[in-house]
Amino acid sequence: MKRAVLLLLLFLLPILDPNPYHTEILSTAALYALLALGLNIIVGFVGLLHLGYAAFFAVGAYTYALLNLHLGWPFWVGLPVSGLVAGAAAVLLGLPAIRVRGDYLAIVTLGFGEIVRVVVTNLEDWTGGPNGLMGIAHPSAGPLRFGVEARPYYWLLLVLAAVTAWACARLRRSRIGFAWLAVKEDELAAGCLGVDAIRMKLLALALGGCVAGLAGCVFAAKQGTVTPDTFDFIQSMMILAMVILGGLGSVAGAVCGAVILSVAPELLREFAAYRMLLFGLLMIVLMRVRPQGLFGSR
């Protein structure tokens, strides 16, 4: 009941506060919440340190952009396809790298993220190169067209984030969730108990990549353009910081971490010269006080 009331309140926020600037911040927070939930499956549930998550975000965005510009596919058809393509890309990354662990896996995923960015930068005939792709169609549902206003995108992202959070919570309490936890705690012991660690890791990568692909599709439709510099290493680090701040493995923590780290820079905008300094100090204090994250367990 409390969750339903909270979801209803979040849904009504743009109506109670119609300020376009505030609605834009809310839509950005909802987008990052969706991305943090996807990365939390990989890092929080299974314990795979992934430093190139923005690559799946880029795959989803460019998939919809190419399908829409070259084949004329509408948003609602491109949305699931973008998620599936990003999930498939995550599996293709996982196949050669899944046996690598710890810091070595982090280096591999970091390299993959940079490779994707460099590839979309250099394939000018397909991706537009550094200038990106422009003229991407906004979503429409019959006579209703989203346009450039942030409010409908916020509602769409809120629904996607709510469904993803519900699915993550159900998965965490399922047999798959317990298998993920076993692999995260002790992969060797999990294998002795009959858990296929490789399969569980690939499943987590596929689901996490699929969520990032959905977010990328909505992002491309909302912006109307995509450029390679949007999906750089800093973007991956920001999403990872959101997951760590909220608490690894916590669904509510991933959402709260995303909201805090996406809204805090806007709240500190008046201190433009010291904004990033204050932002960094805030992160250091929180990590010293709650090293396990806001919603994490020791």
pLDDT, position 35: 95
Whether 298 has a pLDDT exceeding 60, the answer reads no
* Mean confidence (pLDDT) of the chain: 87
Neighbours of 132 (CB within 10 A): 21
197 pLDDT band, cuts 50/70/90, is: confident
Q: pLDDT tens digit string along 39-68?
A: 999 998 998 888 889 999 999 999 999 999
Q: What letter would DSSP give residue 270?
A: G
pLDDT at 203: 93
Contact between 35 and 211 under an 8 Å Cβ cutoff? The reply is yes
- Alpha-helical (H) ranges within the chain are 2-16, 20-40, 54-71, 75-97, 102-122, 124-127, 150-172, 175-185, 187-192, 197-223, 233-246, 251-267, 275-289
Q: Give 138-175 pLDDT, tens digit per residue.
A: 888 766 678 778 888 999 999 999 999 999 999 988 99
Query: pTM for the full model?
Result: 0.92
Nearest Cα to Cα of residue 263 among 33, 14, 29, 18: 29
CB burial of 152-191 (b: ≥16 within 10 Å; e: otherwise) equals bbbbbbbebbbebbeebeebbeeebbebbbbbbeebeebe
* Domain residue spans of the chain: 25-231
